[in-house]
Amino acid sequence: MYDTVIKTDQLIPHVEDKNWLIFDCRFDLADVDKGQRSYTESHIPSAIYAHLDHNLSSPVTPDSGRHPMPDIVKLNRWLASCGLTEQSQVVVYDDSYGAMSSRLWWLLKCLGHEAVAILDGGWQAWDNQGFAVDSRLPELHASNFYAELNDHCVVSTQDVINNKNSDEFQLIDVRTNERFSGKLEPIDPVAGHIPGAVNMPLMDNLDENGFFKTAAQLKAMYSALCESRAAENQVYMCGSGVTACHAVFALSVAGPGFAKVYAGSWSEWIRDPDRPVATGQE
């Protein structure tokens, strides 16, 4: 079973394996249909497209962040339509080094499906190595999959407010340092971060070639956090609750445990102008 990282050469023998499901999670925040267009043109054989907005999120509301948690009934229905079973080995990939595909990895983990892995290096690694690609849509065989979400995986805005002074509750913001400090904000209307949060940019989880760092390297990176707080008391956030899953994944590779995600993240926090905002470094 692969439950964190899978390499391209480990995936090759299984691209046509009926017990394996591959999901293409390519997505561009600036062009929300680009990922699906790219998938239609070329993808890993038998891969199914997972749209961040349509399949992995709910519609935006006046009080929500940019990518609200998906409706669990609809998520289960979609996963069943793709043919997911309890025995399925799932592999997810994107072209942003796991930043998007980690959302589906995390959601499946929260549903209790352990056999799900992120393709290391993603689409670029597969394409650059000249492995087979396809433009055909896979033939799907629906299942009766259904699983309940583990609520302990997710933190709400009210949870953040209620625990702001708790020593056992640490917010870790994975956005770039420029966004965290408020020097630059290219996406959301307010710059800065939630007071008390610390910054660990998600790109630090990768090496210079865009592959995940080794378990030992990641363990060293996260050791200070894990020495002061158990993984279950660490809450990762980002702009909209998507790329925060990248850090939860990296922490799982490192081995300490499974952390939480603040699903609404920064884009939900700033919906209420009365909520405090900090700038600079913590």
Beta bridge partners of 43: 134
Please report how the helices 101-110 and 244-254 are oriented relative to each other, as an axis angle in degrees rounded to 10: 70
**Residues 11 and 82 reside in one and the same domain:** yes
In a domain, 253, yes or no: yes
Strands across the sheet with 5-6, in order? 5-6, 116-119, 89-93, 20-24, 48-49
pLDDT digits (tens, 9 = 90+) for 137-183: 999 999 999 999 998 899 999 999 999 888 778 999 999 999 999 99
Helices vs. strands in the chain: H and E counts, helices first: 10, 10
Q: Could you give the number of structural domains in the chain?
A: 2
**Residues 203 and 234 reside in one and the same domain:** yes
**Residues 177 and 250 reside in one and the same domain:** yes
Per-residue pLDDT at 164: 83
Per-residue pLDDT at 37: 97
Give pTM, 2 decimals: 0.95
Task: Give the residue numbers spanning the domain of 157.
Answer: 151-269
How far, in Å, CA of 182 to CA of 205, rounded?
22
In a domain, 174, yes or no: yes
End-to-end CA distance of the chain: 40
- Active site residue ranges: 238
170-173 vs 48-49, strand pairing mode:
unpaired
Per-residue pLDDT at 281: 74
**Residues 165 and 259 reside in one and the same domain:** yes
Taking the CB of residue 132, how many other CB atoms lie within 10 A of it? 9
In a domain, 247, yes or no: yes
Per-residue pLDDT at 148: 95
Low-confidence ranges of the chain (pLDDT < 50): none
How far, in Å, CA of 258 to CA of 230, rounded?
9
Query: What CATH number is given to the structural domain containing 193?
Result: 3.40.250.10
How far, in Å, CA of 182 to CA of 197, rounded?
13
